[in-house]
A and B are shown apart, each in its own frame.
Chain A
Amino acid sequence: MTTQLLDDSSEQARLDARSDARFDARSDARFDARIAAEERVEPKDWMPDAYRRNVIRQMSQHAHSEVIGMQPEGNWIGRAPTLKRKAILLAKVQDEAGHGLYLYSATETLGVTREELVEALHQGRAKYASIFNYPSLTWADVGAIGWLVDGAAIVNQISLQRTSYGPYARAMVRICKEESFHMRQGYEIMLTLCRGSDAQRAMAQDALNRWWWPSLMMFGPPDAESAHSAQSMSWKLKRQSNDELRQKFIDQTVPQADFLGIDIPDPALCWNASSGHYNFGDIDWSEFQRVISGDGPCNRERLSHHVRAHDDGAWVRETLQAYRAKHPARSAERA
């Protein structure tokens, strides 16, 4: 009897496996056809596990970047040179929090919870943009961040408006609408400094010197060495390669630096008339690897600040939960 049962169940398991495989193959083909036809993938669609994992990785990394990115700029809210600049910076940092929320919510459509995402960040399993591990030392850094970091983010995010995962693409459309303000306020700070005193110009130049190379690294490793690029491109999660986007950013930024009258810290930078693009020097990828793997100037500070803020906010979450437990009918009544 026992043997018989075992045989039956293993036979059943074989049948199940075969039908699962047939189902997967059919679903896979449908998924591939959808991607090929430029259709968006929506939350309730069947999708390969690897695709789901990859979207969660990419979107949560993007969300974490928005949130951690508030720290270097938040550093200057209390020390902005005028009330106007302070109000602007405050509004910009608020926007970044909102962008993080759009992206976390879009990530949660894939069945992962906010708590899991935050935990992955705190345990160092999830990454965020390496650039936010650099310190914002002077007021000019606030200008450079808006101009270069948001400028680079825009290049990337415009491309992602056409990403294959629907909720991600829609979040990008919303975010891009707000980004232009961020970049322009940064450039305006740079322009004001560059049209100011020698000391102000020197401050702007110093900020460009420190932020230029990390901004180029924001696009990720060269295509040939990027761990996820080829797969993400074939899934149309990424629409343009790291190197293409980086080149686009350089081409748009060099004339902006020329207009400011400050120098991009790259002696190899020059116009290439035959390619129609700027040539640029070698990027120090060992620095990128060091910073992304946790050993940049501010990694520990950024993460410990986030953990502290999260822990400090625990009483709010606990209070909300206690309130809901005490007044289960309240929200229904009001409706």
Chain B
Amino acid sequence: MTTEAMPLFEVFIRSKRGLDHRHVGSLHAQDHRQALEYARDTYTRRGEGVSIWVVASSDIVASQESDSASFYDPLDDKPYRHATFYKLPDAVDNM
């Protein structure tokens, strides 16, 4: 009997309260609940986290890195958006 591949889930872990959840990897599971348990078993075996998010990989919409030149505008031509653009005399420079 052949079985269908189980869906893929992305795993995000908050390592400590106060920090953002960070992507740590992915895994296959039959549903969200199982994914959460697998994520615990796979990715938090040494106390890595206090909270886990699992998201079906198919629900993630990603930008393409190859499109980055047209998709993102780093606004390099607008240096005035950075604090360092404003040269102030030393006496008042600590703001």
Residues of A within 8 A of B (CB): 34, 39-42, 44, 84, 87-88, 91, 95, 151, 166, 169-170, 180-181, 183-185, 187-188, 191, 252, 255-256, 259, 331, 334-335
Contacts and interface: CB of A to CB of B under 8 A. Distances in A.
Nearest to A185: B86
A199 B85 CA distance: 27
A42 B95 contact: no
Contact of A40 (B18, B60, B88): B18
Contacts of B81: 91, 95, 181
Given A151-B95, A181-B86, A42 B80 contact: no
A193 B58 CA distance: 56
A230 B82 CA distance: 37
A187 B95 contact: yes
Nearest to B78: A91
Contacts of A187: 86, 88, 92, 95
26 contacts: A34-B17, A39-B17, A40-B17, A40-B18, A42-B14, A42-B17, A42-B51, A84-B80, A91-B78, A95-B81, A166-B18, A169-B18, A181-B83, A181-B85, A183-B95, A184-B83, A184-B85, A184-B95, A185-B80, A187-B92, A252-B95, A255-B92, A259-B89, A334-B61, A335-B60, A335-B61
Contacts, number: 61
Interface in B3-58: 14, 17-18, 20, 51, 58
Contact of A191 (B60, B61, B88): B88
Contacts of B20: 170
Nearest to A259: B92
Nearest to A44: B51
B91 interface: yes
Contacts of A87: 78, 80
A16 to B, nearest CB: 28
A255 B91 CA distance: 9
A188 B92 contact: no
Contacts of B18: 39-40, 166, 169-170
Nearest to A34: B17
Contacts of B88: 184, 187-188, 191
Contacts of B78: 87, 91
Interface of B: 14, 17-18, 20, 51, 58-61, 78, 80-83, 85-86, 88-89, 91-92, 95
A183 B85 CA distance: 12
Q: Is the interface of A mostly helix, strand, loop or mixed?
A: helix
Contacts of B14: 42
User: Which 7 pairs of residues, A with B, have the shortest CB-CB distance?
Assistant: A40-B18, A180-B83, A184-B86, A40-B17, A181-B83, A39-B17, A335-B61
A335 B56 CA distance: 11
Contacts of B85: 181, 184
Contact of B82 (A39, A181, A252, A259): A181
A135 B82 CA distance: 27
Contacts of B61: 331, 334-335
A334 B60 CA distance: 10
A335 B60 CA distance: 7
B17, B18, B60: which has the most chain A beta carbons within 10 Å? B18
Contacts of B58: 335
Nearest to A95: B81
A163 B92 CA distance: 28
A88 B89 CA distance: 20
A169, A170, A181: which has the most chain B beta carbons within 10 Å? A181
Contacts of B60: 335
Given A151-B95, A187-B92, 12 more contacts: A91-B78, A91-B80, A181-B83, A181-B85, A181-B86, A184-B83, A184-B95, A187-B88, A187-B95, A188-B86, A256-B92, A256-B95
A170 B18 CA distance: 8
